[in-house]
A and B are shown apart, each in its own frame.
Chain A
Amino acid sequence: QVQLQQWGAGLLKPSETLSLSCAVYGGSFSGYYWSWIRQPPGEGLEWIGEITESGVTNYNPSHKSRLTISVDASKSQFSLKLSSVTAADTAVYYCARGYYDRSGYYYMDVWGNGTTVIVSS
């Protein structure tokens, strides 16, 4: 049973850098796309970006200038850094596993439990 365990600082001040990590347990790290998604309080889901084992990244253009997603395949871990945060970055942040099936269809089938990040002065 694959599990994603995520962690990181939950309270930030404006202009600081958000930093979260996600570790993969119980399954392979290769062959998947490792994603970050966030959900502001009372709102819907927003896809932030993803990374492969080899370090290929795809980012949401809305955040690209502030965003870095990195990977440490030797530890089966990947990380999210979002710089210059504001109150608008307050959200629950999820990590998730993405996969392309044989037909080429992609889906995110395993999710972390979420980390609440609050940005407040």
Chain B
Amino acid sequence: DIQLTQSPSFLSASVGDRVTITCRASQVISSYLAWYQQKPGKAPELLIYGATTLISGVPSRFSGSRSGTEFTLTISSLQPEDFATYYCQHLNSYPRTFGQGTRVEIK
């Protein structure tokens, strides 16, 4: 199985901060990676797929990038509604595993 390792597991940031979350795959997965945002008690919501393609309606402060097997989710200027847990998921093969999540909290 392909393993995804997210870092950090937890980060504390302030409104307006630039935030970067990394997801490293244990094997080459091309750009078959998605990012989700989950708020407490809610279902995850898709932000980005294909490593870099922003879903319609998602604010442009969110962006994704890829370098080899390392993927990055960047929030350019953190907003109050962005405090949540973020998950990456590979979609290259089965099982379609998720990273362990990164919780973003208010400093």
What is the interface of chain A, defined by CB distance below 8 A to chain B?
35, 44-47, 50, 58-62, 94, 96, 101, 103, 105-109, 111-114
Q: A108-B34, A109-B55, A111-B43 are in contact. Are A44 and B99 (CB under 8 A)?
A: yes
Task: Determine whether B87 belongs to the interface, using a CB cutoff of 8 Å to chain A.
Answer: yes
Interface of B is mostly: loop
**Chain A nearest CB, measured from B2 CB (Å):** 11
Interface of A is mostly: strand
- Residue from the list B46, B55, B97 in contact with A47, Cβ < 8 A: B97
- Residue from the list A101, A106, A111, A113 in contact with B45, Cβ < 8 A: A111
Q: A60-B95, A108-B34 are in contact. Are A44 and B49 (CB under 8 A)?
A: no
Interface string of B42-80 (1 = CB under 8 A from A): 011110011001010000000000000000000000000
